[in-house]
Structure 1
Amino acid sequence: MIMESKRQQKFAGVLQEELASIFQREGAAYLPNTLVTITKVRVSPDLAVAKVYLSFLNTNNTTLSVAEVNAHSSEIRYKLGARIRHQARVVPTLTFFLDDTNEYVERMDKIFDKIAKEPRQEDTEEQAD
């Protein structure tokens, strides 16, 4: 895996902060009654493309929510451009993705709970003696 440069990390942080602010103020226009969290932003080395990972609260269909945000990506990019015009030469093209980290963590927790409840090999052998 290629490490991001300090410049990419710093720019990604700026984008994450500004996008969070945009979604906080105007997110209801894209997804009513849904809380959107920007969990991670990855920026290409030339800072022209940004992959934005989203997490949703209060939605039944996350795939549909991501599609809806992507449908408004040019509008969101315009609003972002107005906010970062003094900090960046180019406003990156935005692509939104679902951050399924929470779902993955929940799934792993369930697996670990299931493993913890199963009797261990040694315990069953000791009981047989």
Structure 2
Amino acid sequence: MRKNSIKNTRINGEVKKELSNLISREIKDPRIHPMTSVIDVYVAPDLKTAKVYISVMGDEESKKETYQGLKSAASFIRGQLAKNLNLRNTPELTFIIDDSIEYGVKMSKLIDEVNSQSANHDIEDNAEENVTE
């Protein structure tokens, strides 16, 4: 099975959906932040390993605690995946903290701030032109 085959893409999607459900509903670890979401999952073509990209909205401490909670619950999550998905092999999960959503929100705020400053500057320029006429 090639890395980007249709079958592998479908498996990635199913594992992602199942992990999202497990993390949000099944795991009762208080270390895992409630604003934790699964961004993406890459299952190896041989189904032995999977990289799970996780986003946590919060400070650095909550990210570290969530990572530790997920790492300690990895065997439970893998067992639940084996029960819920019919795969030849259930992949070993590797969690990776992904800051892309947080970075995107930050950049969006900065762009909005620059746009509002630009709009205010344009209004001031128009007001000055009207006064000089």
State the shift of 1:20 in Å: 2.0
Aligned partner of 1:4 in structure 2 is 4
Asked if 1 retains the 8 angstrom alpha-carbon contact of 2:54 and 2:98, the reply is yes
Q: Which has the higher mean CA deviation after the structures are superposed, 54-63 or 91-100?
A: 54-63
TM-score (structure 1 length as normaliser): 0.73
SS in 2 for 1:28: coil
Aligned partner of 2:45 in structure 1 is 45
State the shift of 1:30 in Å: 5.4
Task: Flag the structure with larger Rg.
Answer: 2
Aligned partner of 1:115 in structure 2 is 114
Instruction: Please give the alpha-carbon distance, in whole angstroms, between the structure 1 residues aligned to 2:57 and 2:108.
Output: 20
Aligned residues: 121
State the shift of 1:65 in Å: 0.8
Cα separation, partners in 2 of 1:32 and 1:48, compared to 1, 3 Å:
closer
1:15 is the counterpart of 2:18: no
Structure 2 gap segments, 5+ residues each? none
Instruction: Please give the alpha-carbon distance, in whole angstroms, between the structure 1 residues aligned to 2:32 and 2:111.
Output: 36
TM-score (structure 2 length as normaliser): 0.71
Asked if 2 retains the 8 angstrom alpha-carbon contact of 1:34 and 1:58, the reply is no
Q: Which has the higher mean CA deviation after the structures are superposed, 33-42 or 45-54?
A: 33-42
Structure 1 gap segments, 5+ residues each? none
State the shift of 1:15 in Å: 0.7
Identity, % of aligned pairs?
A: 28
